[in-house]
A and B are shown apart, each in its own frame.
Chain A
Amino acid sequence: MAALAEQPIVSVRDLVVRFPTQDRRATVKAIDGVSFDVRAGETFGIIGESGSGKTTVGRTLVFLQPPTSGTMHHDGVDAASISTRELRQHRRDYQIIFQDPNAALNPRMSIVASVMEPLKLAKSGTASECRARAIAALERVGLAPETGDRYPHQLSGGQKQRVLIARALTLRPRLLVCDEVVAALDMSIRGDVLNLFAELQRDFGLTYVFITHDLSVVSHISDRIAVMYLGRFMEMGPTEPMMAQPLHPYTEALLSAEPSPLPSDLRQPRRIVLQGEIPSPIDPPSGCRFRTRCRYAQPDCATTEPVWRELTPGRFVACHYAGQPGFMSSQPTHHGSAS
């Protein structure tokens, strides 16, 4: 609540990131105009289509991906104005845990060496202090100290993922982007890790940007959620009202597709099947980019691009018809809130 007046930890305006295609003849519009703030101490969830640009947003926030255009401020400071020297220190405060643990772990380094590496680079303490902190971090994520002597190929998918979480946490960043970090974990360990994230947030005021496909996880931990489709935000707002009553047809389809962990007689068949193939980010559809798969699409959806607007305080949406009486009235509610 009080956060309203405070300066956001990150503020992004009209962010665009483009990549040349392999043959260099066209560009992929990975992010095609996105604006949002992340408030200090909050958990900001990002959900959406595979390939919609979530990871690219995360990489941009931590300086791993330069924007093609648009601005980004960190604590009010224009990121583009930070000198290379300052950047190094600055970067420590903004960390990301990657989706693919294989790409992020050096196969020739023992686990404990990988976890210690950033501490050593940051010259935080003697080698044995760094080692002790690394082992403690491994234990915090449920890995036995002996795991430290192993190598990545000797660990399961979920064990590698926890190593990455331990490594990021040793640095105690201010903002941590978590890209699909709990998907590979069993539910009990997932619960532990999410509790640990919450605890660190409480104790040290950490801010999280949490990217995931798991709606039950994102709705459990996020204060606010943004929904991405083909390089744009479709909807953004506080978690509870969005889960109870989404404003955008794409959010509605996402929520209805979440598999429900209930016995068959208690499950409700209410899946909205999205028709059609995901359009290409090289050449997104005209007008509303969701229209080729939207079951409510009208003729003007193909010609006019919906404006990103604040429909009710704090709730943003990009759909011509959102909020009109009777629109999406056969709405399924998110079953997570039903229990």
Chain B
Amino acid sequence: MDAMTAPAPSDTPLLSIRGLGIRFRTAQGDWQATRDVSFDIARGERLGIVGESGCGKTITGLSMLRLLPPRVATVEGTIGFEGKNLVDCAARDMRRVRGRRIGMIFQEPMSALDPVFTVGDQIAESLRVHQTISKADARARAIEMLKRVGIASPERRVDDFPHQLSGGMRQRVMIAAALICQPQLLIADEPTTALDVTVQAQILDLLRELSASSDTALMLITHDIGVVAESCTRMLTMYAGEVIEDAPVDDALRRPLHPYTSGLLRSLPHLSERRSKLPSIPGRVPTLNMPTGCRFQPRCSHATQGCERPQALLDAGDRPGSGRRVRCWRFRDIDLPGVVH
């Protein structure tokens, strides 16, 4: 066992992100896509990340595997994982983390599978990169993995090319490829958006079961609050490149503390009469002149004097250390509706 796989003391989180900020160089100048992103994931924990489209969920996941385009993206802050800082550890260490200790299922599965290699080759690839394993053994492991993700006659399917599979099967192939090295953490970016709800239910059950049986932690990025409610333990909400709320799922759904989280939940079609106008948050995220204070202020119906000050992510638990955090100084004064009201 090498240093990379040595178990960390059980009270330290598996993953610890502090002050993560991502900047892009663009033709129009530098642009700060995320700032001050901080959160932990414990072993076996299932964290759901939700938030506005474009707020930085995918790039946060990519930065954890150092997959952002290196020439245009700069990353500051720390990503602590098994005693390493993934932001600046040696490329060699990063290669051992990627795919092996941290697996990722990408938002766009069609572009993530290579059309010229068989399904089996692609699933076995990460095994062969990380371990010396014979071709026959790798193939056997790939078949076993296909079976685990619920694909019928895996011995035949292993030789198929991606285009021979339906969307749902391709997505399961991606999941099999991500899980074959038994990662400690699986980042799943919209893993079920392209699937019908019956296949989605199967895959979510599988992810939940894997996380319970092998203590794999899950970081699930999605816009589907139902998916978060049913498969995660914690919900992290992002807005305009910042974490604005972090809470146990049921608490966040019942009583969100940030006006953005509340607005997001109130837009659920479930809560509106059929064919009625859906509530939505007025305005849009500023791109050019980001407020120096609360970034949500221009759209917030609870804004008052004081909101123009920069907002820190405050500890908001009923008791210290309960893990509820919110980036709104008024959270004690305002009472916000969640999904039940």
Contact = CB atoms under 8 A, between A and B. Distances in A.
A32 B200 CA distance: 25
Contacts of B71: none
Which size bracket describes the interface of B in this complex? 35 or more
Interface stretch (B118-126, B131-139, B189-197, B324-332): B189-197
A205 interface: no
Interface in B278-297: 278-281, 284, 286-288
Interface string A223-246: 000000000000000011000000
Contacts, number: 202
B287 A147 contact: yes
B198 interface: yes
Nearest to B33: A156
Contacts of A159: 53-54
A195 B278 contact: yes
Contacts of B39: none
A200 to B, nearest CB: 13
B226 A259 contact: yes
Contacts of A198: 275, 277
Contacts of B286: 144
Interface in B180-219: 190, 193-202, 204
A339 B167 CA distance: 32
Interface stretch (B93-101, B106-114, B304-312, B314-322): B106-114
A194 B58 CA distance: 24
Given A142-B284, A188-B52, A195-B280, A100 B110 contact: yes
Contacts of B268: 187, 216, 261
A211 to B, nearest CB: 11
Interface residues of A, number: 72
A138 to B, nearest CB: 11
19 contacts: A21-B164, A22-B164, A50-B167, A50-B199, A146-B28, A149-B27, A149-B28, A159-B54, A187-B267, A188-B280, A221-B275, A257-B200, A258-B226, A259-B200, A259-B231, A260-B226, A261-B228, A263-B250, A274-B198
Interface of B: 24, 26-28, 50-54, 58, 107-108, 110-111, 150-153, 161, 163-164, 166-169, 190, 193-202, 204, 223-231, 249-250, 253-254, 263-265, 267-272, 274-275, 277-281, 284, 286-288, 339-340
Given A213-B200, A257-B201, 11 more contacts: A49-B198, A99-B194, A144-B284, A144-B286, A155-B54, A180-B194, A189-B52, A213-B196, A219-B274, A220-B278, A259-B230
